[in-house]
Structure 1
Amino acid sequence: MSGMGPAPKPNARRRNATVAMTELPAAGREGAPPPWPLLPDVLLKTQRDTAQRRADDLELSLKEPTLRGRARTAAQRKADAALQEAAVLTAQLDAQERVEAELWSALWALPQAVEWDRAGWTREVAQYVRWKARAEQGDLDAAKEARQLGDRLGLTPLALLRLRWRVSTDEDERAVRPRRRPATSGRRPDDPRAALHVVE
């Protein structure tokens, strides 16, 4: 045919070819989440234990009979500060472990978890959970890491699009089901309105 250009090569790839979307079930992943793969937060535990040891040492030094006056007051202040630091770190650890457990269970019930399971992304999801738990306690650096990992895991609409994942909807399921024939409501077959039907 003239004016249509050369015929495409049989094995050529089109630049604007679309890539098929992976359908994720709207109901999410079924079953229990995988076992938690990461060690406890070693850094936070070490900081907590160090603060507790410092507080214990300072409390012991307060029992010295020779410690009096300003020196005793200074030692008491340091002991109180170390005790407070240990208490805060203990509370942080408890909160982090609770948030990690809740988030871990919730994430593995999402539609994206079907693909994570297939790809074996257990540790990647666990890393996201660890950073997210820290971010929820006010750590801004952890929030940045969590955001980046969340994008890689498909946890935002834009990330889903980049991964070519699509959560199926009720409309998709309805489209697969056979449609009912519309009722003619007693109209004559030659009536042009007989071909009309209500669109859902």
Structure 2
Amino acid sequence: MPRGGSRPVSGPAPDPNALRRDRPSDQAGWTTLPAEGRKGDPPDWPLIDLQPREWDLWRDLWSRPQAVMWEQLDQRYEVAMFVRKLAEAELPKASVELQKVVRQYLDSLGLSVQGMLRNRWRIAMDEVAGKREERRSAARRPSSRSRLKVVADGDGG
């Protein structure tokens, strides 16, 4: 194994919220994927001998936000191979090597947090859920008036 030198996935993953945004590596930008996922039916299965479990996984994966990019990049075969390996890895006594391959697919297809960061993908905030969370946060937060009132009454110290 060679020592030193750069490796494709060495170092920390890019961070869209980093304070320093003037690095040359940040010029590529980030792609925001729709929170509701990819619309429509999945593409035709490209491999031979489709198994029922593979079909279930295939349909599920092609409804995810990342599938928008897979379609744009024509990654049908990569996703199909991942589905096949994932279905094999689910079986009892699946090898550790097979599980490693599945993990690599998760990263390369942007299905893990690390993979999303490395691909410079982020999922758009669901606006309804975002507004709901804002209301919850506002309800838990004491108003500035109530905080000033405590100090004004002399209870603050």
Match of 2:31 in 1: 22
The CA distance in 1 between the partners of 2:22 and 2:127, in whole Å, is: 31
Match of 2:40 in 1: 31
Percent sequence identity over matched residues? 43
Match of 2:11 in 1: none
Structure 1 alignment gaps of length 5 or more = 1-13, 42-96, 176-192, 194-200
Match of 1:134 in 2: 88
Moved beyond 4 Å, runs of 4+: 171-175
SS of 1:104 mapped into structure 2: helix
> Hey, which of these two has a bigger chunk of helix by percent?
1
The offset of 1:174, in angstroms, is 7.2
Q: Give 1:40's match in structure 2, choosing from 27, 44, 49.
A: 49
Question: Superposition RMSD on alpha carbons, in Å?
Answer: 2.4
Larger Rg: 1
Match of 1:185 in 2: none
Match of 2:76 in 1: 122
TM-score by length of 2: 0.62
User: Which whole-Å deviations, capped at 9, do the CAs of 1:18-42 have from their partners, x for residues lacking one?
Assistant: 231100000000000001101128x
Q: How many residues align?
A: 108
SS of 1:23 mapped into structure 2: strand
Output aligned runs, 1:37-186, within 5 Å: 37-40=46-49, 97-138=51-92, 139-140=94-95, 141-171=97-127
Output aligned runs, 1:187-198, within 5 Å: none
Structure 2 alignment gaps of length 5 or more = 1-20, 132-144, 146-157
